[in-house]
Amino acid sequence: MRLQDKVALITGAASGIGRETALLFAKEGASVVVADVNDAEGQETVRQIELAGGKAVYVHSDVSKAADCEHMVNTAEATFGKLNVLFNNAGIMHGDDDNAVTTEEAIWDLTMGINLKGVFFGCKYGVPALRRAGGGSIINTASFVALIGAATPQIAYTASKGGVLAMTRELAIIHARENIRVNALCPGPLRTELLMNFLNSEAKKQRRLVHIPMGRFGEAKEIAYAALYLASDESSYVTGTEFVVDGGITAAYVTPE
């Protein structure tokens, strides 16, 4: 198994990419800390892992709060003895996130608090734990919109994911000699509840689909397999990357200089 004897902490693991990754990591041998604010669904993720014979524990974590992030890392070490993989995946895409003129400051602050500060807090408390374990892998969920911008306006989300990408690069450089790898996972448009709720009309969905060479939305499980590679020792020489899994959308719209 590709994650045998490893301990992984996954934020936003109650649904979408987080849940699919938690299930896959457990299947591949990892003990999983499921972190989320949705207690019922987070515990359901744990239940599914345990039914399949895996090991998992749930911890309530609002990643925009430093104390919650410290607690989730402490839970990983107290429950499973160490932390090897940190997947900073939790994020929001608010329905009132629009262009710079119409988006309210409160929506901007909420989005930044979860999507960007949440990654910072995860690393603030996760890096020392990874050091204690002798190194490991940090995976931060960014987005294809951090690379090319979004056709449907979502200014706070796009800016937050651009920040995740920049922070990932710096973290990778700073911690490279500590055997800590840091990579940004950049999914394309996915058929997840998060995006489908944002693209809440057929017209909005088609506006996204027309840009995707593969002609379909991706599935959360397809991103989970990318995360598995970055979490495993197979990616031992991979750090500081924009790991793009997007159905070809950035290839179609990014022109080399």
Name 138's Cβ contacts closer than 8 Å, sequence gap at least 6: 85, 86, 87, 88, 122, 123, 126, 127, 130, 171, 180, 181, 182, 183
- The neighbour count for residue 212, using CB atoms within 10 Å, is 18
State the pLDDT at residue 255.
57
CB under 8 Å to 255, separation ≥6 — which residues?
A: none
Task: Please report the domains of the chain, with CATH numbers, ordered by start residue.
Answer: 7-253 (3.40.50.720)
Cβ(146)–Cβ(164) below 8 Å = yes
User: Hey, which residues does 141 pair with through a beta bridge?
Assistant: 185
Per residue in 173-219, pLDDT (tens digit) is 999 999 999 999 999 988 888 777 878 787 777 877 888 899 899 99
- Separation in Å, CA 54 to CA 123, 131, 243: 26, 25, 27
Output phi, psi for 54, to 5 deg. Answer: -95, 180
Please identify which of the residues 58, 125, 157, 237 carries the catalytic annotation: 157
Q: Look at residue 257 in the predicted model and tell me its pLDDT.
A: 52
The angle formed by the CA atoms of residues 162, 167 and 171, to the nearest 5 degrees, is 155
| CB-CB contact of 33 with 8 (8 Å) | yes
Chain-centroid distance of CA 155 in Å reads 19
Q: Which of 164, 163, 160, 158 is nearest to 145 (CA)?
A: 158
The yes-or-no answer on residue 229 being catalytic is no
Q: What is the pLDDT of residue 151?
A: 78
Low pLDDT (below 50) residues in the chain: none
Confidence (pLDDT) at 192: 81
